[in-house]
Amino acid sequence: MIVKFHANSVVTEHPEGECFFVGFADDPGETVNYLLLQRAFEDEEQDITLGHNTYHVELSDQSHSSYGGLSKFLLHRNQLELSFASDITNQLDGIVGAHITFQLSDQQFELLHERLKLVFTGSNCFARVAT
pLDDT in tens, 48-91: 565 656 899 999 988 888 888 899 999 999 999 999 998 887 77
pTM for the full predicted model: 0.89
pLDDT, average across residues 7-19: 86
How does the average pLDDT of the chain come out, rounded? 89
Express as a percent the part of the chain with pLDDT over 90: 63
pLDDT digits (tens, 9 = 90+) for 23-46: 999 998 899 999 999 998 776 676
**Integer Cα distance of 11 and 92 in angstroms:** 24
Eight-state DSSP code of residue 130: P
Residue type, 11: V
Residue 72 DSSP one-character state: E
* CA dist., res. 92 & res. 109, Å (int): 29
